[in-house]
């Protein structure tokens, strides 16, 4: 893949007084898209045979989400496919990343397929293809069928086999039209937020459970890859989306350098090493104070089944400072610096740090060499205000996107095989435990009326993407 070093100035339709930013031209086949996930946008939780997921159950439990909000209605996308796909076309998206709801498709988690659940995604895919938008399907974005949770959820090895069956059922129906697939979204979050920190479904708080879950999630990925491929075209590509936080040192004391290594192992290598090296990092479990999960003979060869691309989700970095124990030796505990003077932060409290995206892409390329990478999530929540007419003036999000895209351009120019950039998110949506108070969309959603208003960032992105589609001289 070649890239020219031509730069272009970005027009900003309808947006006054903005500095024109120059962004390098990307290769013509670079994918520009936006992402969502099923529980965060669909609503319609009781329709067409869908059964409850762990998130329906978790969000209905008092004290788990902001103001007790749930995904029951969300952005009502289930009833608005045509309108939402038309919006994607207006944004000039070349790709749309969405997830499928397992409890719509297999309400019991296993067994009989609910064809009406698949019908919904079938229609969505046809709408996308009619507009030349490439679907990127994620099979698991955290909404496990409750029936499986009742049988142990991801703590049960059986769930890994159930996932592979589910993956095959989806591919059998949609594999003729979708050629980019992700098995899981952010296994670290499934395992750690759900089973150690308890801030996501199913809300458990035990690190040992989290590593056991992580292993079954990895296994399910490896089991699903060949089952998917049975029903896909030879050109189709299968991957997994992993979330990364590059770790930086707050000072250069030896204990801090030790802490950087520890934090990186825990936050970035826990899932990367098994996927690409077929083993867990040596000191992962001892540093976490847990035992290794139960690993069967073939597990690592299944987990490290070659994939076609790695999805990289990036939001921010970690800055850490080490601690010493009573003897002055580096301690396994370290401090994460929450506020860095001079840095700016998004509404979720995440530091804006575009250089971290380059750092992680280059590092993954050097150390793990995936065949290709797609930035499957990048974006920010800001305090967007709708003016009541057609405007949401979110300059901070435009700046955020420009800076991150510029960073990706530099990485691509260095020869790192990054093939796409997908904004989180297409629409404002149910931001898990944060409910609806955090808005990530390129498109604003007025929840009482479900009216969609394209934000200035959406207009900017549309214009940027179209400039990339223009033929280089
Ligand atoms: C990611 C999730 C996505 C969304 C963004 C803000 O970790 O994959 O669903 O919540 O964060």
- pLDDT score of 4: 30
Match 């040992």 to its residue by tokens.
208
Q: CB of 440 closer than 6 A to ligand 1?
A: yes
Q: CB of 163 closer than 6 A to ligand 1?
A: no
From 41, 140, 186, 382, the mutation candidate for ligand 1 (largest count of ligand atoms within 8 A of CB) is 186
Distance 293 CA to ligand 1 centre (A): 26
Look at residue 23 and tell me whether its pLDDT is greater than 80: no
Q: CB of 424 closer than 6 A to ligand 1?
A: yes
Q: CB of 377 closer than 6 A to ligand 1?
A: yes
Collapse the DSSP code of 422 into the 3-class scheme (helix H, G, I; strand E, B; otherwise coil) and give the result. Answer: strand
Q: CB of 265 closer than 6 A to ligand 1?
A: no
Give CA separation, 381 vs 70, 103, 457, in Å. Answer: 19, 28, 12
Q: Torsion-angle region of residue 279: left (phi > 0), alpha (psi -120 to 50) or beta?
A: beta
Look at residue 157 and tell me whether its pLDDT is greater than 80: yes
- pLDDT score of 24: 66
Distance 185 CA to ligand 1 centre (A): 9
CA angle 304, 306, 308 (to 5 degrees): 135
Distance 322 CA to ligand 1 centre (A): 28
Q: Measured between alpha carbons, how far is 89 from 94 in angstroms, rounded to an integer?
A: 8
- pLDDT score of 18: 42
Q: Model-level pTM?
A: 0.95
- pLDDT score of 2: 29
**Per-residue model confidence as pLDDT tens digits over 59-103:** 999 999 999 999 999 999 999 999 999 999 999 999 999 999 999
- Burial degree of 278 (CB within 10 A; 0-12, 13-18, 19+): middle
Reply yes or no on whether 434 is catalytic.
no
Beta bridge pairs of residue 99: 138
Percent with pLDDT over 90 in the chain: 92
Q: Which of 42, 351, 377, 431 is catalytic?
A: 377
Where does the pLDDT of residue 471 fall: very low under 50, low under 70, confident under 90, or very high at 90 and above?
Answer: low
Contact 180, 136 (CB under 8 A): yes
Instruction: Please identify, by atom number, the ligand 1 atom nearest to the C-alpha of residue 440.
Output: 6
Nearest CA to ligand 1 atom 10: 431
Distance 252 CA to ligand 1 centre (A): 32
Nearest residue to 48 via CA among 121, 108, 117: 117
Reply yes or no on whether 335 is catalytic.
no
Collapse the DSSP code of 145 into the 3-class scheme (helix H, G, I; strand E, B; otherwise coil) and give the result. Answer: strand
Q: Measured between alpha carbons, how far is 50 from 109 in angstroms, rounded to an integer?
A: 11
Instruction: Please identify, by atom number, the ligand 1 atom nearest to the C-alpha of residue 185.
Output: 8
């Amino acid at each position: 893949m070649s890239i020219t070093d031509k730069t272009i100035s970005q027009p900003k339709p309808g947006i006054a007084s903005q500095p024109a930013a120059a962004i390098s031209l990307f290769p013509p086949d670079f994918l520009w898209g936006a992402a969502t996930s099923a529980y965060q946008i669909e609503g319609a939780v009781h329709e067409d045979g869908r059964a409850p997921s762990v998130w329906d159950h978790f969000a209905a439990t008092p004290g788990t989400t902001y103001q007790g909000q749930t995904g029951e209605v969300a952005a009502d996308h289930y009833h608005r496919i045509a309108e939402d796909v038309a919006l994607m076309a207006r944004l000039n998206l070349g790709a749309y990343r969405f997830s499928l709801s397992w409890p719509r498709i297999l309400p019991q988690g296993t067994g009989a397929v609910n064809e009406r659940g698949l019908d919904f995604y079938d229609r969505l895919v046809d709408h996308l293809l009619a507009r030349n938008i490439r679907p990127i399907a994620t099979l698991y974005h955290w909404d496990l069928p409750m029936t499986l949770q009742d049988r142990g959820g991801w703590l049960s090895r059986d769930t890994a086999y159930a996932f592979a069956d589910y993956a095959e059922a989806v591919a059998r129906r949609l594999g003729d039209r979708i050629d980019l697939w992700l098995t899981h979204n952010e296994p670290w979050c499934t395992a750690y937020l759900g089973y150690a920190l308890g801030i996501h479904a199913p809300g458990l708080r035990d690190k040992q459970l989290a590593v056991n879950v992580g292993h079954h999630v990895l296994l399910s990925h490896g089991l699903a890859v060949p089952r998917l491929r049975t029903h896909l075209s030879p050109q189709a590509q299968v991957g997994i989306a992993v979330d990364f936080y590059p770790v930086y040192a707050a000072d250069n004391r030896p204990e801090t350098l030790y802490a950087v290594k520890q934090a990186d192992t825990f936050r970035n290598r826990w899932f990367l090493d098994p996927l690409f090296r077929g083993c867990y990092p040596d000191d992962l479990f001892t540093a976490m104070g847990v035992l290794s999960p139960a690993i069967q003979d073939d597990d690592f060869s299944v987990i490290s089944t070659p994939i076609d691309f790695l999805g990289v989700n990036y939001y921010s970095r970690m800055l850490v400072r080490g601690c010493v124990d009573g003897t002055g030796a580096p301690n396994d505990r370290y401090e994460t610096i929450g506020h860095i003077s001079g840095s700016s932060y998004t509404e979720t409290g995440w530091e804006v740090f575009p250089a971290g995206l380059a750092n992680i892409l280059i590092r993954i390329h050097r150390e793990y060499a995936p065949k290709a990478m797609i930035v499957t999530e990048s974006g920010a929540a800001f305090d967007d205000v709708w003016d009541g007419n057609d405007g949401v003036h979110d300059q901070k999000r435009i700046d955020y996107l420009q800076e991150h895209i510029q960073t990706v351009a530099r990485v691509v120019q260095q020869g790192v095989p990054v093939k796409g950039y997908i904004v989180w998110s297409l629409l404002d949506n149910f931001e898990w435990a944060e409910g609806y108070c955090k808005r990530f969309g390129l498109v604003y959603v007025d929840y009482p009326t479900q009216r969609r208003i394209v934000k200035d960032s959406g207009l900017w992105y549309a214009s940027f993407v179209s400039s990339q589609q223009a033929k280089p001289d």
